[in-house]
């Protein structure tokens, strides 16, 4: 994976840093795995704006991703590594031995022509999916289920990964991407390897227009609003607006919003580091 810096021939290209996309093998998605993606512009069914700063952007189609990896014991060949406009990670098109095609999140190092497998017979190699009970301790994993059969919900974005550090009883101890240490049932499935496109965080947009292409509208800073619009609004000139807080008054910068009586607190061994 590598990046390229553009020559400063225009103001928008002066600081722009882009991906070379050299690991991608095709720019034509599999038609049978595409679905329409409707844009709401931040409006609900009544037409009222419920999410600010959304709207516009390039038209997209959703790629149907197999997060469950439930075709156990059936080998699949990696047909292509592709770009997905709906996520930061790359996706891989798998051709299963029974003729079915599915998209999965691509792990770093996954190559076209490589065979991947899920289930008990799978070896702990990059791209294979196994339940936590069958993985060696210390394995780097991604696309992890939180409940058996639910499908991957943890460590799915570009460059993210977790680590299986211990097993005790029916739970495995996982060190999460956030540095939180958490217990997860050993019957949950995970994919071996780090999620692809780890250089995504090093990209530099270069200009505001690129955010508009992605469907993000300009965001108004709360301190320049009026008191009727935000708790931090009002004042003369550049007054700070008091303590930083959200529009509905919840303090920012370190204020804990997680419930102290939440049922899943008992599964958290160590909280994430600030």
Model confidence at 240: pLDDT above 80: no
Label residue 185 by pLDDT band (50, 70, 90). Answer: very high
Of 181, 130, 176, give the one whose Cα is nearest residue 156: 176
Place of tokens 């217990």: 183
Q: What is the mean pLDDT of residues 61-87?
A: 97
Q: What is the mean pLDDT of residues 110-122?
A: 96
pLDDT attached to residue 239: 80
Extents of the domains making up the chain: 22-201
Taking all residues of the chain, what is their mean pLDDT, rounded to a whole number? Answer: 95
Q: What is the mean pLDDT of residues 138-149?
A: 97
The pLDDT > 90 percentage for the chain reads: 94
Label residue 178 by pLDDT band (50, 70, 90). Answer: very high
Model confidence over 190-238: pLDDT tens digits?
A: 999 999 999 999 999 999 999 999 999 999 999 999 999 999 999 888 8
Contact 75, 97 (CB under 8 A): yes
Q: Which CATH superfamily is domain 22-201 in?
A: Nucleic acid-binding proteins (2.40.50.140)
pLDDT attached to residue 84: 97
pLDDT attached to residue 1: 57
Contact 20, 200 (CB under 8 A): no
pLDDT attached to residue 274: 74
Q: What is the mean pLDDT of residues 235-254?
A: 88
Model confidence at 148: pLDDT above 60: yes
Of 151, 144, 135, give the one whose Cα is nearest residue 194: 144
Label residue 68 by pLDDT band (50, 70, 90). Answer: very high
């Amino acid at each position: 994976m590598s990046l390229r810096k553009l020559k400063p021939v225009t103001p928008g290209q002066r600081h722009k840093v882009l991906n070379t996309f050299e690991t991608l093998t095709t720019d034509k998605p599999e038609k049978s795995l595409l679905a329409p993606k409707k844009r709401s512009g931040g409006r609900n069914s009544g037409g009222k704006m419920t999410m600010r700063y959304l709207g516009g952007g390039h038209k997209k189609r959703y790629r149907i991703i197999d997060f469950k990896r439930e075709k156990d014991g059936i080998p699949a060949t990696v047909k292509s590594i592709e770009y997905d406009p709906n996520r930061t990670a790359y996706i891989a098109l798998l051709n299963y031995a029974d003729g079915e095609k599915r998209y999965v999140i691509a792990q770093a190092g996954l190559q076209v022509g490589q065979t991947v497998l899920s289930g008990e017979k799978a070896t702990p190699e990059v791209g294979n999916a196994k339940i936590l009970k069958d993985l060696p301790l210390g394995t780097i994993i991604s696309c992890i289920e939180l409940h058996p059969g639910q499908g991957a919900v943890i460590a799915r974005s570009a460059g993210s990964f977790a680590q299986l550090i211990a097993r005790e009883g029916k739970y495995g101890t996982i060190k999460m991407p956030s540095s939180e240490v958490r217990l997860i049932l050993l019957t949950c499935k995970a994919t071996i390897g780090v999620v692809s496109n780890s250089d995504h965080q090093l990209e530099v947009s270069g200009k505001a227009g690129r955010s508009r292409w992605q469907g993000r509208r300009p965001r108004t800073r709360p301190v320049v609003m009026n008191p009727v619009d935000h708790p931090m609004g009002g004042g003369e000139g550049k007054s700070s607006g008091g303590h930083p807080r959200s529009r509905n008054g919840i303090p920012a910068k370190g204020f804990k919003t997680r419930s102290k009586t939440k049922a899943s607190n008992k599964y958290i061994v160590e909280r994430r580091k600030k």
